[in-house]
Amino acid sequence: MARRSIPFLKQLLTSPSSNLTPTRSVTYMPRPGDGAPRPVTLIPGDGIGPLVTGAVEQVMEAMHAPVYFERYEVHGDMKRVPLEVIESIKKNKVCLKGGLATPMGGGVSSLNVQLRRELDLYASLVNCFNLPGLPTRHENVDIVVIRENTEGEYSGLEHEVVPGVVESLKFCSERIAKYAFEYAYLNNRKKVTAVHKANIMKLADGLFLESCREVATKYPGIKYNEIIVDNCCMQLVSKPEQFDVMVTPNLYGNLVANTAAGIAGGTGVMPGGNVGADHAVFEQGASAGNVGSEKLLEQKKANPVAVLLSSAMMLRHLQFPSFADRLETAVKRVISDGKYRTKDLGGTSTTQEVVDAVIAALD
C-alpha cells in the first residue's frame, strides 16, 4: 500500500505563490537514513483516546518498530494546548493523537483546531477505502479526501464586522490545490475533484475554484472536474466509486470525509493525518474529535483499527515502509478473518482482543 503514503511537500509548499509550476524534485521531508529510533509526541486525549493509542503502543512494541513515544496529557476542556506539547511536536516533527473533546459553544475553542493553526497543519488527508472481508453497501471505494485545514468557517477564524454580522476568513486555496494535485501525481491517482459551493459563495469558493483550475493546467495527466457540495453528497451515497482524490475547503471537507468514511466501512477504520510543510499529526481520519461514549469506555470495546492504520501512515512518513506494510497487512488479516471485530463492525470483541489478534497476525 505504498501509494497511500502522504507526501510532505516542503519544497512545493514553501515555493512562491506566484510560481505554480510543480518541481519534480519535490520529495519527502528529510529523514535520518540510518534507521535510528524516532521520537514521536503522543497525545492520548479524552474518552477512548488512551485506549486506542495504547493499542498502538502495544503493537509498536511487539513489532520492535523504531519509534518511541513522548507522552503528554492534553484534554479538550483545557483553555489551550500546553506550550511544552507544541514544543515537543516542533522538535519531533511528528505526533500521534487520540480524540480531544470539543465543548459546545461557550466561547471555548477546539484544541484540535488550535493544534492545526499553531503548527500550520493546513492539509487534512482522510483515506476512505473498502477493507477486504468487511461488508459494505458499495464496493471499489478508494477515496482520498484532502481538505484545507486552517481557514474557512470550520477553522474558528472569524470576527464580528458589525454587531450581528460575522465574517469567516477564506484563503490559502492555492496551496491546498497544489497539495492535492501533487499528492495525486506522486501516488498514481488519476482524477482530482474540487468540491465547492461557488454558485452561492461566489467570491470565496470562486477563488478556490480559480486556484484549482490554474494548478490543474500544470498536471495534464490528471483528470480534473468540479462538483457542487450538495450534488457531491448525493453522488457519494449513490456512486462513490466514481471519486478518486477530492479537494475541498475546510467545512465541506469535514462533511465529505465523514460521509465517505461511513460509506466505506465506518469512521472506526479510516486513517488520516494533518500535515504541513514541517510537521504532521496522525489520528483517526474521520470524526477525529469523537471520544466515544462512557459505556464504550467502560466495556473497553473501542475500535482501534483507524488509529492503527493512521500509525502505519506515520511509519511510512518516517521512512519505515517495511514496518508500515507489516502493520497494515496484519490489520487487514484480522478484519478479513472476521473473528475479532468491535461492535461498530458487527462484532463483540474488546479493544484488547483486537490488539492481540493484530499482534498474532504480524509477519
Looking at residue 173, its pLDDT comes to 85
Q: Which residue has the higher pLDDT, 19 or 131?
A: 131
CA 15 to chain centre: 24
Residue 7 has pLDDT above 50, yes or no: no
The pLDDT of residue 296 is 87
β-strands 271-275, 280-284 pairing: antiparallel
- Read off the pLDDT of residues 150-173 as tens digits, 9 standing for 90 and up: 875 544 444 445 554 434 444 578
Report whether 342 contacts 79 (CB < 8 A): no
The residue among 16 and 181 whose pLDDT is bigger is: 181
User: Which secondary structure element, helix H or strand E, spans residue 158, and what is its range?
Assistant: strand 158-162
pLDDT confidence tier of residue 128, bands split at 50, 70 and 90: very high
Query: Model confidence over 47-59: pLDDT tens digits?
Result: 999 999 999 999 9
CA gap 57, 50 in Å, rounded: 10
Model pLDDT, residue 158: 44
Pairing of strands 245-248, 191-196: parallel
CB 266 within 8 A of CB 128: no
How confident is the model over 327-345, as pLDDT tens digits? Answer: 999 999 999 999 999 999 9
Q: What is the mean pLDDT of residues 302-309?
A: 96
Mean pLDDT of 217-221: 97
Which ranges in 239-339 belong to alpha helices (H)?
A: 250-264, 294-299, 305-317, 321-337
* pLDDT of 67 over the 60 cut: yes
Cα dihedral 198, 204, 208, 210, rounded to 10, equals 80
Query: What does the pLDDT read at residue 163?
Result: 57
**Domains, the chain, ranges and CATH?**
36-101+109-127+270-362 (3.40.718.10), 137-264 (3.40.718.10)
pLDDT higher at 29 or 129: 129
**What pLDDT does residue 23 have?**
38
Q: Which grid cell is 323?
A: 514496518
Q: What is the mean pLDDT of residues 70-76?
A: 95
209, 215 Cβ separation under 8 angstroms: no
pLDDT at 5 over 80: no
Query: Residue type for 159, please?
Result: H
As given in the structure block, the three cell numbers for residue 87 are 514544543
Asked if pLDDT for residue 285 goes beyond 50, the answer is yes
Q: Is the pLDDT of residue 217 over 80?
A: yes
Which amino acid is it at 166? V
* Element (DSSP H or E) covering residue 204: helix 204-216
Cell of 159: 470576527
Distance CA 8, CA 321 (A): 15
Query: Count of CB atoms within 10 A of residue 34's CB?
Result: 6
Q: What is the mean pLDDT of the chain?
A: 85
Quickly state the pLDDT bin for 196 (edges 50, 70, 90).
very high
Mean pLDDT of 217-236: 96
